[in-house]
Chains A and B, each alone.
Chain A
Amino acid sequence: MVKIYNEKVMEHFKNPRNVGELEHADGVGQVGNPVCGDVMKIFIKVKNGKISDIKFKTYGCVSAIATTSMLTEMAKGKTLKEAKKITRDDVAEALGGLPPIKMHCSNLAADALKKAIEDYENKQ
């Protein structure tokens, strides 16, 4: 089961970065649903147009957790404009690739981030 994932994916899965919630988040985005087996929730803090802090919580498989962890690392410190450009493929690539079957079902972290940024922008 684990063999289908590369070492980088497993490393992010076992030691996910930026886990948790931000109490006074400027934006929150959630995608997925429990019936499908994946839910990703991303919290962001925005300062001077940049993502100053980011946290996540994910329910799901190895790749769901690893991709959200990876995405938070990629987005931290980026301007909102840059962060919005991060795609699912960018996340998968940064992880050194995902099994093909996992590319669509559990690689939704970039979408959750977009929702969090939209949430922030709607509040402005």
Chain B
Amino acid sequence: MIYLDNGATTMMDPDVVKAMIPYFNEKYGNASSTHMMGVWARQAIDEARHTIAKSIGAKDEEIIFTSGGTESNNAALKGVAFANKDRGKHIITTKIEHDCVLNSCKWLETQGFEVTYLNVDREGFVRPEDLEKAIRKDTIIVSIIHGNNEIGTIQDLKRLGEICRKHNVYFHTDACQSYTKTEFDVKKQNLDLVTLNAHKIHGPKGIGALYIRHGVKITPLLHGGGHEFRMRSGTENVPGIVGFAKSVKLAMHDKHVKHMARLRDILIKDITENIPDVLLNGAKGEKRLCNNVNVSFRYVEGESIGALLDAKGISSSTGSACSSHSLEPSHVLMALGMKAEEAHGSLRLTLSRFTTEEEIKKVSSELPKIIEKLRKISPLAKGG
């Protein structure tokens, strides 16, 4: 099995699993309890919080644990929107966000908020001048994804954050895909809120975090026993939290980023040099996530490409309408100004630090055959 869908989720690192196990069956106490079992759980959470805070240049008490990226994004947007109604009702985001940001914004529109969805350029970058122009007197928060999950484009948060600071508007980013894969510092990048999660970095599913800068006015989504500094009630998922911190420690090495970037570049080179009528979607070089390859093949459709890859034991994904529940092509690819048929022919291959060169070479040798086979069947292909 060659797993190249790490943008969807990743294999758990065996060391992460090992770190979590005692918290299921030995140190299973409730962190709110005052006995020894509770203290062990509390200590584990405190340590994990410190690890994650340090990894993004935050203070420990600025990190709250959540159930994952979707909850963190919901909590950031809805929490800030409702807490700052007195300041305004305007929210700014982009057309290339993850569904959990877009659909939170759409729901907020039904609650009396107004949302501006910024366009991006052909490579998926938000133009700073567009952001500045969109900010109004009643804008309360700007939410822009850091590393895009589909096309891998990494936004210049520092520049975008400066604009938000200048206009006294909160700045949130969804960093689920970029976390540990590119330099990240909440102070340097002028961030007020940051969404993080574990399962994209070889940690467990069902655990994430939200960075909330000290002083940000926000109201919680979940009310209850007052856990997580009263920001997120609910008994803490201790094994998940421990696994999250362990996955961060294991992921934070430059060598992993270099390894993935090298394989990414080999794969992009092999595909674009050996297959005709192909385009690279998203940014190039340093401004692209080290593990993301997204290409469109003309005259063929992505679900078919994926099915033939799958038959060869290679896992991938596509932005084609044919593989979505809505039967609409990817909103991210369409926002780049692509034609629907280009989006239908898209293929995303996302690497991890466990991906090997041998695996990449196998994909490089199988893919041209698959594209050729489908083009032979296609009435749109040249001579078709």
Identify the A interface with B (CB < 8 A).
1-2, 5, 10, 13-14, 16, 19, 30, 34-41, 57-62, 64-65, 101, 105-106
Contact = CB atoms under 8 A, between A and B. Distances in A.
Nearest to A62: B307
A57 B376 CA distance: 8
Interface in B217-253: none
Given A57-B377, A62-B304, 7 more contacts: A1-B317, A19-B377, A37-B322, A37-B340, A41-B379, A59-B299, A105-B327
Contacts of A35: 339-341
A106 B322 contact: yes
A62 B384 CA distance: 19
Nearest to A37: B344
Nearest to A60: B301
Interface string B336-353: 000111001000000000
B303 interface: yes
Contacts, number: 82
Interface of B: 299-301, 303-304, 306-308, 310-311, 317, 320-323, 325, 327, 329, 339-341, 344, 376-381, 384
Contacts of B300: 59
A74 B293 CA distance: 41
Across the A-B interface, give the 3 residue pairs with the lowest CB-CB distance, nearest first. Answer: A61-B322, A57-B379, A34-B341
B281 to A, nearest CB: 17
28 contacts: A1-B307, A1-B317, A1-B323, A2-B307, A2-B310, A10-B307, A10-B311, A13-B304, A16-B377, A34-B341, A36-B321, A37-B340, A37-B341, A38-B301, A38-B322, A40-B379, A57-B379, A58-B377, A59-B299, A59-B377, A59-B379, A60-B301, A60-B322, A61-B301, A61-B304, A61-B323, A62-B304, A64-B322
A34 B317 CA distance: 20
Contacts of B344: 34, 37
A62 to B, nearest CB: 5
Q: Is the interface of A mostly helix, strand, loop or mixed?
A: mixed
A41 to B, nearest CB: 4
Contacts of A34: 340-341, 344, 380
Contacts of B378: 39, 57-59
Given A30-B379, A36-B321, A37-B321, A14 B308 contact: yes
A59 B381 CA distance: 9
A1 B303 contact: yes
A60 B379 CA distance: 10
A65 B301 CA distance: 10
Contacts of A58: 377-379
